[in-house]
């Protein structure tokens, strides 16, 4: 359809190059045999990946980030599910304001959330900063994303399905596990992945709320002062890029699989 | 049917959604083994009543007994009822077999027993060979059968059906009507059937409750409703009815005389509560009327008019006869067995036996 290279077509190419070009430089420099991220390229090497593997503090930070991201993904999805069910299934008094309130972190600057949480945690609750406090902050900002995904999935249901399940002798709990959860599964997977990715690369809240241990983004930021560490950082960045691409592809595949049941009530 | 003990007893059931009253003064019994229909236009409350029977909705007031047990506080999953939903509500992530077996999981059956019952139900609704078919590969008619089997396999005391045939095309619908009736006779379970299609209700039911505006207008057998509608609304809802307005001139035993002004005086059997002088109608079914060529002199039980429209249906001919003094032309249905028929504009005389009419209250 867009064979002719008209202005719009050129605009689209520039747009995509602008978006993904910088990201693609990462693997290029990671494989470049030089301490400086500049052209011309000096030669091919895997040395940066070896030095990355040997950098224990970076590996520690990666482990911390993975632990937090997995925990946050599970917890925020688990919290978002009952909230989404309540908001889509029942006419709650004050349901609209509650929904709006839960979506608020979506539009609040994370610096504001970070400072507010810092004050609450240190001054009011008197809790030591640690990876736990980072995770708590991440759950707060992930919840609205998880809820949006789950609610849109749950709203697509024929409400008669759950009534039929109750009518056929299932309790509310059985109905959830035998019917609602399997049908919402593609939404649950999206919610898990979204929360994972948001938590994994979140910087501001992690920077404010972490104690002695670093998450990966905070660690990487601290390493930017040392130019000779940059190639190792890029090597790690490359691995994360590959990892997240695979993750997104898998998620998309699952979502497509789930598509036929997106309209369960149709005839 | 009325000598059989009631399986469902409704006592003054009321339902409100906020300020809106959707059901009031609902009190009747449904006998065991009966095919009972709730008939009414959309919004009359019939589906809400069915959902109250199922336990999906709770009544605002009144008592409901199923099989002698009060149902207040009994959740849908503990009631001896199962429902066939209008949308069928086939579980999209399960195949035919798993859908049908869904309700058996909580019944503590052995695996073999459960499998046997599912197979039996599949045979009952003629879905043989489709046991492992996925839900989204089924046609509308097949989905309907799965929904039916899924409910019947639990062996409920009462099967509730919410317009189960409305999504099917006409031919399939008529086929399913016969099958549903045969199925009900075979399993002997009480069926409560919600429909807005009066023909469907007449074909299937032992008894019909005609509903409007959240109330039951009349409960009777199909024949009783058709022959002796208790009110104008029921008369107009079931089949078509010619109504000649007037007021009650006199009450005579179980009949009445209607003064229809210039059209004359008409005598007929009276139904409902009539008072002398009150506004009333002479109600005449189109097929109780006969047509004769030419105008006749004035006499009892006849009116002169002229043919406005004629619809030839093969076995019958439907005429619209304009009568001076009536706003609506009279519908006359004549069997095609007799005579040549009448051309448009021809003067005719519409007549009926006195037993063919009814006098209805406003």
Task: Render pLDDT for B288-301 as a digit per residue (tens, 0 to 9).
Answer: 998 888 888 777 88
- Alpha-carbon span B137 to B2, nearest angstrom: 43
Contacts of B110 (CB under 8 A, 6+ apart): none
* B87 interaction partners in chain A (CB closer than 8 Å): 158, 160, 265, 267
Q: So what's the pLDDT on residue A262?
A: 41
Structure tokens at A39: 């052209």
pLDDT at B220: 94
Contacts of A178 in chain B (CB under 8 A): 102, 105
Q: What is the mean pLDDT of chain A?
A: 84
pLDDT of B265: 86
Summarize pLDDT for B188-224 with one digit per residue, the tens: 999 999 999 998 999 999 999 999 999 999 999 999 9
Side-by-side strand order, sheet with B330-335:
B290-293, B347-351, B302-312, B316-322, B330-335
Rounded distance, CA A103 to CA B269, Å? 69
Please check whether residue A188 touches B, CB under 8 A: no
Question: What pLDDT does B240 receive?
Answer: 87
Strands B190-195 and B35-39: parallel
pLDDT tier, A253 (very low <50, low <70, confident <90, very high otherwise) = confident
What mean pLDDT is predicted for residues B280-295? 89
- At residue A264, the pLDDT reads 41
- Residue B4 pLDDT: 66
Please determine, for residue A79, whether its predicted confidence score (pLDDT) is greater than 90: yes
Task: Give B-chain residues touching A166 at CB under 8 angstroms.
Answer: 55-56, 75-77
Name the pTM for this structure. Answer: 0.80
Q: Is the pLDDT at A151 greater than 70, yes or no?
A: yes
What's the mean pLDDT in B254-258?
86
B143: which chain A residues are within 8 Å (Cβ-Cβ)? 267
Let me know: does B188 contact B32? Beta carbons within 8 Å. Answer: no
Phi (first) and psi of residue A148, to 5 degrees: -60, -45
> Best of A91, A161, A167 to disrupt the B interface by mutation (most B CBs within 10 Å)?
A167
> What is the helix, strand, coil percentage profile of chain A, to 5?
80, 0, 20
Contact assignment for B89 to A174 by CB distance below 8 Å: no
Q: Closest approach of chain A CAs to the CA of B103, in angstroms?
A: 5
Whether pLDDT at B3 is above 70: no
- Kindly tell me the sign of the dihedral angle through the C-alpha atoms of A77, A99, A265, B208: positive
Q: Residue A163: list chain B partners with CB under 8 A.
A: 54, 56, 76, 83, 85, 89
Residue A20 has pLDDT above 90, yes or no: no
Number of C-beta neighbours around residue A168 at 10 A: 29
ipTM: 0.82
CA dihedral over A69, A72, A78, A84, signed as positive or negative? negative
Number of helices (H), then strands (E), belonging to chain A: the values are: 12, 0
Counting every residue written for chain A, the total comes to: 267
Give the pLDDT score at A265: 38
Of the listed ranges A27-41, A143-157, A166-180, A212-226, the least confidently predicted one is A27-41
- Reported confidence tier of residue A267, pLDDT bands at 50, 70, 90: very low
| pLDDT tens string B328-343 | 899 999 888 766 788 8
Q: Are B45 and B22 in contact (CB under 8 A)?
A: yes
Contact B91/A at CB under 8 A: yes
Helix (H) or strand (E) holding B271: none
Torsion of CA B114, B119, B121, B125, to 10 degrees: 160
Can you tell me the distance from the alpha carbon of B359 to that of B301, in angstroms, rounded to the nearest whole number? 13
Whether B323 and B255 have beta carbons less than 8 Å apart is answered as no
Query: Which of B76, B93, B150 lies nearest to residue A183, judging by beta carbons?
Result: B93
CB of B343 within 8 Å of a chain A CB? The answer is: no
Mean of pLDDT over chain B: 89
Distance (Å) from the C-alpha of residue A192 to the closest C-alpha of chain B? Answer: 21
The whole-number pLDDT of residue A83 equals 92
pLDDT cut 90: percent of chain A above it: 34
CA angle B64, B66, B68 (to 5 degrees): 100
Condensed to tens digits (0 to 9), the pLDDT of residues B38-95 reads 999 988 999 999 999 999 999 999 999 999 999 988 999 999 999 999 999 999 999 9
């Amino acid at each position: 359809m867009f064979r002719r290279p008209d202005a719009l077509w050129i605009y689209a190419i520039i747009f995509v190059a602008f978006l993904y070009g910088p990201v693609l430089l990462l693997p290029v420099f990671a494989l470049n045999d030089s301490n400086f991220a500049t052209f011309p390229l000096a030669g091919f090497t895997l040395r940066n990946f070896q030095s990355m593997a040997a950098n224990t503090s970076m590996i520690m930070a990666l482990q911390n980030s993975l632990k937090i991201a997995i925990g946050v993904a599970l917890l925020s999805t688990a919290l978002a599910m009952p909230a989404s069910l309540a908001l889509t299934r029942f006419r709650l008094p004050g349901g609209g304001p509650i929904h709006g309130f839960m979506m608020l972190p979506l539009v609040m600057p994370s610096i504001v959330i970070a400072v507010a949480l810092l004050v609450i945690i240190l001054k009011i609750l008197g809790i030591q900063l640690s990876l736990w406090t980072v995770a708590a902050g991440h759950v707060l900002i992930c919840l609205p994303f998880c809820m949006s995904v789950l609610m849109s999935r749950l709203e697509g249901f024929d409400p008669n399905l759950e009534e039929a399940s109750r009518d056929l002798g299932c309790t509310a709990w059985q109905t959830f596990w035998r019917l609602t959860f399997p049908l919402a599964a593609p939404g649950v997977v999206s919610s898990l992945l979204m929360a994972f990715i948001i938590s994994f690369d979140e910087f501001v809240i992690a920077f404010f709320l972490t104690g002695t241990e670093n998450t990966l983004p905070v660690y990487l930021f601290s390493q930017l002062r040392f130019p000779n560490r940059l190639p190792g950082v890029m090597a790690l960045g490359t691995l994360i890029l590959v990892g997240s691409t695979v993750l997104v592809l898998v998620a998309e595949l699952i979502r497509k699989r789930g598509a036929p049941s997106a309209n369960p009530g149709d005839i | 049917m009325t000598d059989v003990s009631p399986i469902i007893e409704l006592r003054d059931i009321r339902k409100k959604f906020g300020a809106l009253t959707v059901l009031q003064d609902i009190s009747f019994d449904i006998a065991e083994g009966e095919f009972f229909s709730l008939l009414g236009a959309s919004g009359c409350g019939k589906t809400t009543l069915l959902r109250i029977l199922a336990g999906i909705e709770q009544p605002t007031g009144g008592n409901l007994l199923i099989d002698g047990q009060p149902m207040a506080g009994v959740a849908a999953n503990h009631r001896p009822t199962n429902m066939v939903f209008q949308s069928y509500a086939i579980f999209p992530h399960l195949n035919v077999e798993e859908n049908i077996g869904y309700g058996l999981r909580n019944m503590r059956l052995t695996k073999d027993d459960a499998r046997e019952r599912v197979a039996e139900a599949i045979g009952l609704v003629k879905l043989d060979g489709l046991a492992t078919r996925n839900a989204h590969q089924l046609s509308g008619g097949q989905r309907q059968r799965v929904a039916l089997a899924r409910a019947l396999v639990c062996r409920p005391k009462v099967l509730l059906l919410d317009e189960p045939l409305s999504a099917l095309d006409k031919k399939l619908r008529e086929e399913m009507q016969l099958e549903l009736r045969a199925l009900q006779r075979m399993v002997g379970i009480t069926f409560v059937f919600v429909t807005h299609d009066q023909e469907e209700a007449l074909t299937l039911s032992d008894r019909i409750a005609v509903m409007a505006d959240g109330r039951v207008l009349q409960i009777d057998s199909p024949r009783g409703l058709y022959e002796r509608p208790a009110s104008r609304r029921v008369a107009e809802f079931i089949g078509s009815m010619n109504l000649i307005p007037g007021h009650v001139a006199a009450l005579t035993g179980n009949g009445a005389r209607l003064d229809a002004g210039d059209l004359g005086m008409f005598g007929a059997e009276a139904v409902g509560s009539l008072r002398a002088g009150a506004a009333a109608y002479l109600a005449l079914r189109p097929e109780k009327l006969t047509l004769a060529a030419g105008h006749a002199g004035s006499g009892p039980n006849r009116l002169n008019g002229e043919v406005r429209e004629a619809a030839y249906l093969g076995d019958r001919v439907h005429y619209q006869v304009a009568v001076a003094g009536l706003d609506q032309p009279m519908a006359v249905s004549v069997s095609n067995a007799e005579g040549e028929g009448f051309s448009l504009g021809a003067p005719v005389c519409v007549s009926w036996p006195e037993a063919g009419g009814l006098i209805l209250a406003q």
